[in-house]
Structure 1
């Protein structure tokens, strides 16, 4: 099956709306609906490996939850995991947003919504910083390994400092670099940017949103039954 390209705005809207619905819709229904919705969407987008990883993580967490809930001393672990499990579909879709789309595509898509430029830039930088953070984290762990420094549970606070302090310094440096790069590319210009990527809203995008809204409406009906 040919993979369909979905507008990143659709994934952003789903990730904004879905978590808030747990306050209004039955958690069991919403969790099941989001699992099916995210799985089908990843199949449509051709993200089969990510779908497999998504289900493996979900199965592992649910298995751990089931085991720990029958152990009095470990029930808190199960309660913590069930909260994380409810967010897994949104995390899976957010991971596609981070890995599939580049900064130019995100800017082009967000500008079609006519939101303030400051918000567009902030959202784009936030989303694209995640893979940068992952890369910087790998550099830090490699540097620690070369120096013979390892994480130990005997001194968790000190071990955590080895990770977080270099990362904070790198965040400050990268913020300056990203700002300079954005200014060079005219990101603060008052005129609308032209872009090689035209992220238009298509029939497939509308269908995904309609299915999502219908599923949420079904959750309200389920709750009243």
Structure 2
């Protein structure tokens, strides 16, 4: 039984998961610039359906800035600048460019899909219940971890403890004590809360679970699933 409809959602969670896996494989096995540009184009296309035009433009400008940094550093190789001053920014831009499409997809997923829809979509993939719960808990814990980190930083500032990268470099053991230890204790408490929430929502039920959301694969989903690998294949063979 379904109560709420999500037909207005342009892309299903399973499509985003498929696209994320596809991008991971092609970016690992191919270092061609055309593959990188196509990966970003697909990710920004997904984001454009859920985000505002201003946010989409910001992501495009950020990607272009990283490209300028990478190729700008390449042009400076023949100058008198130290080699490290050229290679370090170029390496950072190289890594950031390959992470960028996944960041865009992650933000699009956060904007368009809630935990209930993700659980329903994964259940229809016939995945093991333990795998589904692991993925859901991981996705649910990331925002909580971000909030906990902010609380720790605010508490350190109230106690007069400097919060900066330089302090972490100069005092690594103290930084571990101030940051990691509170996060570990907080993680243990959050684990207990998530376990209780899972019991209340009946995740241990062995039968077929119903959903409040009508999670379906639409025409855009199937188009992305079939056209994305075709585009990568053409890019590898023709370009």
TM-score, structure 1 length as denominator? 0.88
- Matching residue of 1:73: 84
State the Cα RMSD in Å: 2.1
- The CA distance in 1 between the partners of 2:57 and 2:226, in whole Å, is 26
Query: Against the structure 1 CA distance between its residues 132 and 57, is the aligned structure 2 distance closer, same or farther, given a 3 Å change threshold?
Result: farther
- Matching residue of 1:98: 110
Bigger radius of gyration: 2
- The CA distance in 1 between the partners of 2:52 and 2:144, in whole Å, is 22
- Matching residue of 1:171: 187
- Matching residue of 2:5: none
Query: Against the structure 1 CA distance between its residues 59 and 144, is the aligned structure 2 distance closer, same or farther, given a 3 Å change threshold?
Result: farther
Structure 1, unmatched stretches of 5+, are none
- The CA distance in 1 between the partners of 2:33 and 2:199, in whole Å, is 47
- Structure of greater relative contact order (alpha carbons < 8 Å, 6+ residues apart): 2
- Matching residue of 1:218: 234
Structure 2, unmatched stretches of 5+, are 1-7
- The CA distance in 2 between the partners of 1:114 and 1:57, in whole Å, is 38
- The CA distance in 2 between the partners of 1:156 and 1:14, in whole Å, is 41
- Matching residue of 2:34: 29
Deviations 1:62-108 (A, max 9, x none): 34334444341221332133122112012110122234322111101
| Alpha-carbon contact 2:51-2:111 (below 8 Å) kept | no
- The CA distance in 2 between the partners of 1:176 and 1:106, in whole Å, is 21
Matched ranges for 1:145-164 at <5 A: 145-152=157-164, 153-154=166-167, 155-157=170-172, 158-164=174-180
Query: Against the structure 1 CA distance between its residues 83 and 211, is the aligned structure 2 distance closer, same or farther, given a 3 Å change threshold?
Result: same
- The CA distance in 2 between the partners of 1:149 and 1:19, in whole Å, is 40
Aligned with 1:144 (options 133, 151, 156): 156
Measured after TM superposition, the shift of residue 26 of structure 1 is 4.4
TM-score, structure 2 length as denominator? 0.83
Matched ranges for 1:1-225 at <5 A: 4-69=9-74, 70=76, 71=81, 72-74=83-85, 75-152=87-164, 153-154=166-167, 155-157=170-172, 158-222=174-238
Aligned length: 221
